């Protein structure tokens, strides 16, 4: 059956984000009504404690999500000419990285650190490194396996049929087009070091855990993965990012340490950067 008009990818991402966002809000409130005392006894496989997480952390996660998703919703508020910008220099990139990654993490960690010991809450000490390494390797290999399955499936052809030609994810396009060695170096550091550390702090240590506090792990894995995927603003990467978001949340829950999913995230991004720079 021929599709007379292709679906607008921007509206698709916005609609999915909106549905996930509303589900997040509704799920949290409904669980709070049904379980006024908080989450039931955790399952034996759960390693992530919600101690110290409350309304402040949940609201903080909400604000961070709205901030991160600006690339999804701001295009519907501003005229197209205001969204067109020139090439960013190294200084602009550094400032952007600080505002996007570092500052929100510092704020969120400060809020939580006033209530609990962050080393314990994030699983940064007394780590079982053998278990952490096994889970990190397993998470990375499972992610690659699932993405290989996607690559040999009719996934890309289906996307093209529904949406037409799709641009690369913004970060991928920036890496491809980077000619200045300084710009390229900054973007590689951002992808392989900064993003794994600060995205895991914000999306897993806060968004996932604060949502789990009020809804339980399964709902939190699903919703946090959807939000993690949509805030990147790419239809072509939507399913792959959902997959890695879910795996990162599961690995975090099983290991009890943020180190594990930082390693998975960093390895995945390093692999993608290497493939991109090697094969284009």
Residue 207 confidence class, pLDDT cut points 50, 70, 90: very high
Is the model's pLDDT at 70 over the cut of 60?
A: yes
* Rounded-to-integer distance, Cα 121 and Cα 83, Å: 39
Residue 44 included in any domain:
no
Give 191's DSSP letter.
I
Find the range with the poorest average confidence among 32-36, 47-51, 244-248: 32-36
Instruction: Count CB-CB contacts under 10 A for residue 157.
Output: 9
Is the model's pLDDT at 90 over the cut of 70?
A: no
Residue 4 included in any domain:
no
Is the model's pLDDT at 46 over the cut of 90?
A: no
Res 37: pLDDT: 66
Distances from the Cα of 110 to the Cα of 45, 60, 211, 218, 257, angstroms:
28, 11, 19, 27, 19
Q: Which residue has the tokens 């799709």?
A: 166
Residue 120 included in any domain:
yes
Residue 151 included in any domain:
yes
Percent of the chain residues topping a pLDDT of 70: 90
Mean pLDDT, residues 62-69: 87
Q: Mean pLDDT of all residues in the chain?
A: 85
Is the model's pLDDT at 183 over the cut of 90?
A: no
Res 41: pLDDT: 62
Is the model's pLDDT at 133 over the cut of 50?
A: yes
Task: List, in order, residues 6 or more apart from 165 with CB less than 8 Å away.
Answer: none
Res 178: pLDDT: 75
Q: Which residue has the tokens 């000419």?
A: 81
Residue 221 included in any domain:
yes
Residue 1 included in any domain:
no
Alpha helix segments (H runs only) across the chain: 9-34, 55-68, 70-73, 80-83, 90-97, 103-113, 118-121, 129-152, 155-163, 170-177, 181-189, 209-215, 217-230, 238-255, 258-279
Res 3: pLDDT: 52
Please give the tally of structural domains in the chain.
Answer: 1
Residue 203 included in any domain:
yes
- Give per-residue pLDDT as tens, 223-267: 999 999 999 888 989 999 999 999 999 999 999 999 999 999 999
Cα–Cα–Cα angle for 269, 162, 13, rounded to 5 degrees: 50
Res 168: pLDDT: 75
Distances from the Cα of 114 to the Cα of 50, 56, 82, 117, angstroms:
15, 11, 40, 8
Q: Which residue has the higher pLDDT, 73 or 17?
A: 17
Residue 231 included in any domain:
yes
Task: List, in order, residues 6 or more apart from 82 with CB less than 8 Å away.
Answer: none
Is the model's pLDDT at 1 over the cut of 50?
A: no
Range of the domain at 171: 9-39+51-279
């Amino acid at each position: 059956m021929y599709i007379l008009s292709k679906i607008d990818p921007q509206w698709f991402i916005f609609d999915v984000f909106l549905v996930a966002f509303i589900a997040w809000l509704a799920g949290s409130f409904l669980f709070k009504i049904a379980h006024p005392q908080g989450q039931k006894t955790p399952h034996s496989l759960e390693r992530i404690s919600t101690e110290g997480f409350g309304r402040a952390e949940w609201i903080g996660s909400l604000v961070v999500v709205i901030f991160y998703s600006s690339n999804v919703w701001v295009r519907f508020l501003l005229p197209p000419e205001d969204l067109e910008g020139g090439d960013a220099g190294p200084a602009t990139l550094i400032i952007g990285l600080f505002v996007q990654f570092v500052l929100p993490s510092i704020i969120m960690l400060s809020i939580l650190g006033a209530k609990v010991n962050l080393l314990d809450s994030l699983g940064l000490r007394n780590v079982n490194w053998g278990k952490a390494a096994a889970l990190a390797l397993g998470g990375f290999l499972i992610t690659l396996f699932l993405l290989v399955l996607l690559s040999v499936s009719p996934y890309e052809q289906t996307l093209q049929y529904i949406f037409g030609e799709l641009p690369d994810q913004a970060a991928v396009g920036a890496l491809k087009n980077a000619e200045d060695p300084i710009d390229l170096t900054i973007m590689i550091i951002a992808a392989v070091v900064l993003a794994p550390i600060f995205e895991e702090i914000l999306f897993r240590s806060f968004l996932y855990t604060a949502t789990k506090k009020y809804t339980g792990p399964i709902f939190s894995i699903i919703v946090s993965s959807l939000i993690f995927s949509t805030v990147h603003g790419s239809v072509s990467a939507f399913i792959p990012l959902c997959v890695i978001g879910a795996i990162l949340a599961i690995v975090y829950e099983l290991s009890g340490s943020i180190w594990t999913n930082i390693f998975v995230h960093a390895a995945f991004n390093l692999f993608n950067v290497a493939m991109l720079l090697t094969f284009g």
